[in-house]
Structure 1
Amino acid sequence: MKMIIKQQKEIAIEPLQALYDDAGWYAYTNDLPLLQQACAHSLDVFCAWEDEQLIGLVGVVGDGVTIIYIQDILVLSAYQNNGVATSLMQHILQKYEHVRQKVLLTEEAPDVRHFYEKMGFTSCDQGSLVAFAKLD
């Protein structure tokens, strides 16, 4: 696999739709122009490409100085467990190593927990922090 990581916030609708549909995140693809706008307005977006195919993406919001919120890390199912997500996360963590608070919210699953712990994250249920979310 010859993967290239690009820092880019302007992404065509077609590859975005293919990636998000593959993940089953249809709430995002129901309004593709809004998804495209969300990427463009993010603090940062790193994309993994193989040739002309978007195979992975991670977005970051926040101020980039004291806090970042890592969101929407996706990898095409055919490319999972090949280091794509790890590479994307390493780019984020390296660029924002000076930021004290790196936050993310994700589903509970053993493989998901293992991945983020491998990347140096601690689940709030294992420390002295508490997490709250209001999802509408």
Structure 2
Amino acid sequence: MISYKETKELSNNDLKKLYLSVQWFVYTDDMGTLKQAISNSLAVVSAWDNDKLVGLTRVVGDGSTIIYVQDLLVHPEYQNKRIGTIMLSMILDKYKQVRQKVLLTDDEPIVRNFYENNGFMSADQGNTVAFYKFL
């Protein structure tokens, strides 16, 4: 059975294994930065199969007018078991009073479907525009 925790206290080893499992190498190349990012987040929800970290989502923002879902990842062996949906629901419930809930992600059909099924609308389908700039 999967258990869920809201905590920023996560070991480097657990984080590295999870992020590597989804091939997010840019995060694992600098674990110090990842740990600081986790620490500076508004909230972090993690999913556990006993003592194995199998999912994580984290939110940044001011917590009053805007939140940004920065990371939502689930170990490939645990995908399609509603873990991501449950973690996202926990975050959305925690910040239900916040008007703007934003995220930036890959434009792949499975990803688009996941977020649309969880109440998000892509900027290309609404009356907003999204901009981003990477280093």
Task: Report deviation, 1:116.
Answer: 0.4
CA distance in 2, matches of 1:111, 1:126: 17
Deviations 1:10-63 (A, max 9, x none): 210001000000110111101112111110111110000110000000000000
Question: What amino acid maps onto 1:18 in structure 2?
Answer: K
Query: Matched residue pairs, number?
Result: 135
| Local SS of the residue matching 1:97 | coil
| Local SS of the residue matching 1:73 | strand
Q: Which runs of 4+ in 1 moved over 3 A?
A: none
- Find the counterpart in structure 1 of residue 61 from structure 2: 62
Question: What amino acid maps onto 2:18 in structure 1?
Answer: L
For structure 1, list consecutive stretches of 5 or more residues without a partner in the other structure: none
Task: Report deviation, 1:4.
Answer: 0.7
Structure 2 matches for 1:4-83, cutoff 5 A? 4-83=3-82
- Does the 8 Å CA contact 1:65/1:98 hold for their aligned counterparts? yes
- Does the 8 Å CA contact 1:10/1:36 hold for their aligned counterparts? no
| Local SS of the residue matching 1:28 | helix
- Find the counterpart in structure 2 of residue 3 from structure 1: 2
What TM-score, normalized to structure 2?
0.98
| Local SS of the residue matching 2:97 | coil
- The share of aligned pairs that are identical, in percent, is 49
CA distance in 2, matches of 1:58, 1:84: 10
CA distance in 1, matches of 2:82, 2:121: 20
What TM-score, normalized to structure 1?
0.98
Structure 2 matches for 1:124-135, cutoff 5 A? 124-135=123-134
Deviations 1:93-121 (A, max 9, x none): 11011000000000001111111001000
Structure 2 matches for 1:72-111, cutoff 5 A? 72-111=71-110
Task: Report deviation, 1:71.
Answer: 1.1
